[in-house]
Amino acid sequence: MNDRRTTAADEPVLTTTVPSPIGALTLTAIQGSVVGLYMHDQRHAPTSTDGWMRDDAAFKDVVAQLDAYFAGELERFDVELELRGTPFQRRVWAGLLEIPYGETISYGELAQRIGRPKAFRAVGLANGRNPVAVIVPCHRVVAGDGTLGGYGGGLDRKAFLLDLERRRRV
């Protein structure tokens, strides 16, 4: 995972949109690394797509892995990621990648895991800004009482993803 925070104007952003059981997913990549996976109507999705270039072929492996995930045949993605955000956000997102398939943890537990036990609210905010939904499994974080809490893609999608993983894990 690279530590770069912004996209330079000269870096072409490649994109494709693919169907999925949770609706259309838009993938973005820069220099071969996935930098975004956004759901239709997702909070915190990019507001501008100026300069994005459609290139379906650039995402064949990622799309194959997404298809396998939604079919219950893949538990951990193996794609090159470049998560762009603040150092704290990247720390949270790295923590998300360590949550096992089919399991959930609370925002407080994630804060503990990344060494910031009192920062559970900040962890929640960073979780909500995850730029690579599904692959970086922010859906696996729930409220301390076990309820779903929030999800940038909507609670119906979060429930679907958690149910998919629980059913396949059994």
Which of the residues are catalytic?
138
What token pair was written down for 32?
């071969």
Helices 87-96, 120-128: inter-axial angle, 10-degree rounding? 80
Distance in angstroms (rounded) separating the CA atoms of residues 39 and 17:
9
Compute the chain's Rg from CA coordinates.
Answer: 15
* Unique residue bearing structure tokens 């009482």: 145
Are 65 and 79 in contact, with CB atoms under 8 Å apart? yes
